[in-house]
Amino acid sequence: MTVNLYSDTQTKPTAAMRRAIAAAEVGDEQRFEDPTTNALQERVADLLGHEAALFLPSGTMCNEIALRLHVRPAGDEILLGELAHPLRAEAGGPAAVSGAVLTVVPGEFGIFTGEALAARIVTDDRYRPRSRVVSVEQPTNTAGGRIWPLERVGGVLDVARDHGLRAHLDGARLPNACVASGVPASDWAAGFDTAWIDFSKGLGAPVGACLAASRELIDEAWRYKQMLGGAMRQSGILAAGALHALDHHWDRLGEDHANAKALADGLAQLAGVRIDAAALETNIVIWEVADALAFTAALRAEEVFVYALDAHRVRATTHLDVDRAAIDRALSTIRRVLSDL
Ligand SMILES: *Cc1c(COP(=O)(O)O)cnc(C)c1O
């Protein structure tokens, strides 16, 4: 039995999701004639407590377009946490698309304080890039899979507002944070100028993400969607998968968190593993081994897939297609591989 913990992007659409996709009513989304895409956008605007929303092919495009809305392409500065997705995994997009400088605000597991943000903001020094926007990744991904506490987000938003900065919420896995914390998505997204969720992570849809903001910002985001080739046609085929995911895969994320917890607790028993199992909050489990590349290669040979984040850190992500039996098999394989190494 293969155990694919490489990422929660690895899920395949369920039979029920495929039926919903097959039955989708469609039209030309660029002309606002796709009823399923329109319904999804309204649903997400509501969910995140913003005026409007825009369906996009990926979360990366949500980040890139949102950040472009907040800066001028003239050396403006985007402030964000360590190992944030736009830094690590968007091919330098903020520099290429927005002409912006990225500055890391130091913190722990990608989570920083309002004070740390304030110390990095520069708006009136002509030698320095001008700080324009702060981005919060909730929960953090490769920096630790941690949930920003709500007061911490509030502190960061207060500082941003005081300095005239915009605020962006990278909510790729916001549904996980909502289920784990019991805090509704609209509370997490309140106070941000732009916020988005991904359907192709834990929610288990094949494609898509949705960016929410004011009507005015979404109208402007449409220009960049068109420019970057993100405007689609009968996108209801994709939106139907996303709507099905919102209806059927949101509440069950707690199962992924329980499976992640079982994995983390099991790992904590093993010699050669460094992990803070008690800190686990979501579906992302990160631990350290002596040689992450050798470790992940040995696991791969046994059809257990995990992700080497760097020379020592390894990430496993639980999702819809991983049950407790798969976690048990992963753990016993990891135990054997570690003793062989
Ligand atoms: C996956 C991810 C993205 C990008 O989403 P895609 O749909 O893969 O383009 C952005 N931010 C975070 C935190 C992510 O985990």
Buried b or exposed e, range 237-274, using 16+ CB within 10 angstroms:
bbbbbbbbbbebbbeebebbbebbbbbbebbeeeebbe
* pLDDT at residue number 55: 98
**Per residue in 55-112, pLDDT tens?**
999 999 999 999 999 999 999 999 999 999 999 999 999 999 999 999 999 999 999 9
Q: What share of residues in the chain are helix, strand, coil (percent, to 5)?
A: 45, 15, 40
**Per residue in 288-331, pLDDT tens?**
999 999 999 999 999 999 999 999 999 999 999 999 999 999 99
* pLDDT at residue number 132: 98
Mutate to test the pocket of ligand 1, among 170, 200, 286, 309 (most ligand atoms within 8 A of CB): 170
* pLDDT at residue number 12: 96
Q: Which two tokens stand for residue 318?
A: 């639980």
Q: How open is the CA angle 260-266-268, to the nearest 5 degrees? A: 105
* pLDDT at residue number 142: 96
| 62 Cβ inside 6 Å of ligand 1 | no
Looking at 74-210, list the stretches that DSSP marks H as alpha helix, in order from N- to C-terminal side. 85-88, 93-98, 114-120, 150-162, 174-181, 185-189
User: What's the gap in Å between 335 CA and the centre of ligand 1?
Assistant: 30
* pLDDT at residue number 48: 98
| 58 Cβ inside 6 Å of ligand 1 | yes
* pLDDT at residue number 166: 98
User: What's the gap in Å between 85 CA and the centre of ligand 1?
Assistant: 6
Please report the atom of ligand 1 found closest to the CA of residue 209.
Answer: 7
Q: What's the N-to-C CA distance of the chain in angstroms?
A: 22
Q: Which helix (H) or strand (E) holds 42?
A: helix 35-48
Q: State the amino acid at position 335 in one-letter form.
A: R
Q: List the one residue out of 311, 281, 305 whose CA is nearest residue 141.
A: 281
- Distance CA(70)–CA(80), nearest Å, equals 14
Give the chain's radius of gyration (CA, Å).
20
User: What's the gap in Å between 195 CA and the centre of ligand 1?
Assistant: 13
User: What's the gap in Å between 247 CA and the centre of ligand 1?
Assistant: 21
* pLDDT at residue number 157: 98
pTM here?
0.98
Phi, psi at 70, each rounded to 5°: -95, -15
Contact 188, 149 (CB under 8 A): no
User: What's the gap in Å between 31 CA and the centre of ligand 1?
Assistant: 27
In order of 144, 186, 202, 249, 258, the CA distances from 141 in angstroms are 6, 20, 12, 20, 18
Mutate to test the pocket of ligand 1, among 65, 198, 211, 286 (most ligand atoms within 8 A of CB): 198
- Look-up of token digits 């736009």: 86
Residue ranges in the chain whose pLDDT is less than 70: none
Contact 259, 8 (CB under 8 A): no
User: What's the gap in Å between 204 CA and the centre of ligand 1?
Assistant: 13
| 194 Cβ inside 6 Å of ligand 1 | no
- Distance CA(129)–CA(114), nearest Å, equals 20
| 130 Cβ inside 6 Å of ligand 1 | no
Contact 320, 204 (CB under 8 A): yes
| 209 Cβ inside 6 Å of ligand 1 | yes
Looking at the chain, list the stretches that DSSP marks H as alpha helix, in order from N- to C-terminal side. 15-22, 35-48, 59-70, 85-88, 93-98, 114-120, 150-162, 174-181, 185-189, 215-227, 236-248, 253-268, 292-301, 324-340
Q: At what angle do helices 292-301 and 324-340 cross, to 10 degrees?
A: 120
| 198 Cβ inside 6 Å of ligand 1 | yes
- Residue 158 CB burial class (10 angstroms; 0-12, 13-18, ≥19): middle
N residues, the chain = 341
User: What's the gap in Å between 341 CA and the centre of ligand 1?
Assistant: 33
Number of neighbouring beta carbons within 10 Å of residue 228: 16
* pLDDT at residue number 99: 98
Q: Which residue puts its alpha carbon closest to atom 3 of ligand 1?
A: 59
* pLDDT at residue number 27: 98
* pLDDT at residue number 1: 86
Please name every residue paired with 103 in a beta bridge, in sequence order, or none if there are none.
Answer: 79
* pLDDT at residue number 341: 87
In order of 14, 80, 101, 102, the CA distances from 83 in angstroms are 32, 9, 15, 11
| 90 Cβ inside 6 Å of ligand 1 | no
